[in-house]
Amino acid sequence: MTYDNRQFYIDGAWVDPVEAKDLNVINPATEEVAGVISMGSSKDVDRAVTAARRAFDSFSSTSPAERLALLGRILTAYKAHYDEIAEAISIEMGAPITLSKGSQTGVGVGHISAMMDVLKSFKFEEMQGTVRLVQEPVGVCALITPWNWPINQVAAKVVPALAAGCTMVLKPSEYSPFSAIIWAKVMHQAGVPAGVFNLINGDGPSVGAPLSSHREVDMVSFTGSTRAGTEVAKNAAASVKRVHQELGGKSPNILLDDADFERAVTKGVLHVFQNSGQSCNAPTRMLVPKAKLAEVEAIARRVAESVVTGDPKSEKTNLGPLVSKLQFDRVEGYIAKGIAEGAKVVFGGSGRPEGLTKGYFVKPTIFSDVHNNMTIAREEIFGPVLCILPYDNEEQAVQIANDTPYGLAAYVWSKDNLHARRIGGRIRAGQVTLNGAQGGMNTPFGGFKMSGNGREWGEHGLRDYLEVKAVIGVDAA
């Protein structure tokens, strides 16, 4: 299937770009053209922001009940396009079809459903003594999303923005535009009012920068690399707009001495390899007691040997390609750097997996005897590469875990839940998972330090699209 959509969705209609500039989107599994989109410019940004600004007065005054009904219609339309979205994600960024039909697309249903539950009981007005506190939509929002979990990131921004009463312009990644285009069709079919939701394709310099610096934009929400996030913040600073960021990670996974090592190592390795390692919260630094290092290596190697790398269309495939040639070269460079710096290769290494001669596939790789000053332990690789770091005692484990500029996620394993909680409480991260537990769609997601600011998902995600107004006076009640 080839995708061809060279228009943008602006003010409730599909329109041609001001200046035509085509981009071939490459299927990373085949290195062949999967479709064509147009790349936008600052002129397209102006059109979209103007539409969003014009729509804000009326949409911001809608009731929570009206917005709840709108989300219900979006959920129905989304489910009708579910298989189409799953196929698009698999083609545009190489996700194995089982992952694409499962988590990648399923999370869209999750975000919409969770926000509907939040809206049913959320208090947009409440009294604080004689003062009325009113939660109002922040305004026109620029939403800039990445390619690695394309619908998750779109839904995690668009859905709370709609629930809050904001209007918006979405710029999805140019590497994964097809699923976002289908999302725009869902918005249209659900009856989202004209101008409330707008979509422009393009890259960071041509569309992202004009959006994040636009004086008629009140908030920019960005998910991507820390490097790009700092540029977004700089662009937004001149107009003092709200900046909401979910950025990089280098998450520690601490296996305490009393952990179930078979379970912890297995889940840790598979988590790193999921989505070809292209997840910001992946537990890429596995910290293990030095005395358990050989045991951990053996388990990790056995798990890695069970992973099937190959054609995303096959339901037997666990691990697909990286999203692009740029990402392929980047990850291969990190693998080479790890070898050069003296890390022990337990599994994988440089080059494509055996039998694969095309596509941006890399070998799932496990390094051991890694020290936290090595490049592969310091920098976010964003590929299926696990670093195993030995530690002497728990104090050192905590020190290593926190010795990173990032603070997105962390993981702790112990057969004693209180033990795991004590250690987890000392980790500087926005989300700490104990013994493989699962959060829900209302669990706040976001980071400390250079992993960003603000939170997404559920009620916390909604609050970040709201401003607080204090109404003071005798008639406030």
Catalytic residue list contains 456: no
Of the residues 92, 280, 332, 387, only one is catalytic, namely 280
Q: pLDDT band for 292, please (50, 70, 90 cuts).
A: very high
59 burial level (CB within 10 Å; 0-12, 13-18, 19+): buried
Distance, C-alpha 278 to centroid of its chain = 9
Q: pLDDT band for 49, please (50, 70, 90 cuts).
A: very high
In the chain, domain spans: 3-247+451-472, 252-446
Of the residues 174, 246, 297, 456, only one is catalytic, namely 246
Q: Do domains 3-247+451-472 and 252-446 have the same CATH topology?
A: no
Kindly state the average pLDDT of the residues 403-410. 98
CATH topology assigned to domain 252-446: Aldehyde Dehydrogenase; Chain A, domain 2 (3.40.309)
Kindly state the average pLDDT of the residues 340-352. 98
Q: Are strands 365-368 and 344-347 parallel, antiparallel or unpaired?
A: antiparallel
Q: How many other CB atoms are found less than 10 A from the CB of residue 392?
A: 10
Q: Examine the pLDDT at 348 and tell me if it is beyond 70.
A: yes
| Residue 26 φ/ψ, nearest 5 degrees | -95, 135
Q: Residues in the chain, how many?
A: 477
Do 271 and 413 touch, CB atoms closer than 8 A?
Answer: no
pLDDT averaged over the chain? 97
Alpha helices in 81-104 (DSSP H): 82-93, 97-99
Sorted by sequence, the CB contacts under 8 Å of residue 317 that are 6+ apart come out as 96, 97, 98, 308, 309, 310, 311
CA dist 340 and 334 (Å) reads: 10
Q: What is the pLDDT of residue 143?
A: 98
Q: Which CATH number fits domain 3-247+451-472: 3.40.50.300, 3.40.605.10, 3.40.190.10, 3.40.50.510?
A: 3.40.605.10
Q: How many other CB atoms are found less than 10 A from the CB of residue 291?
A: 10
pLDDT in tens, 66-122: 999 999 999 999 999 999 999 999 999 999 999 999 999 999 999 999 999 999 999
The residue among 98, 84, 75, 45 whose CA lies nearest residue 182 is 84
**And the tokens for 384?**
């299926």
pTM: 0.97
- In angstroms, what CA-CA distances link 344 with 240, 283, 365, 391? 48, 19, 11, 16
Q: Examine the pLDDT at 448 and tell me if it is beyond 60.
A: yes
Catalytic residue list contains 280: yes
Q: Is the dihedral of CA 58, 60, 65, 70 positive or negative?
A: positive
Among 1-15, 108-122, 367-381, 411-425, the range scoring the smallest mean pLDDT is: 1-15
pLDDT in tens, 357-385: 999 999 999 999 999 999 999 999 999 99
pLDDT in tens, 185-237: 999 999 999 999 999 999 999 999 999 999 999 999 999 999 999 999 999 99
Dump the DSSP string for 122-161: --SEEEETTEEEEEEE--EEEEE--SSSHHHHHHHHHHHH
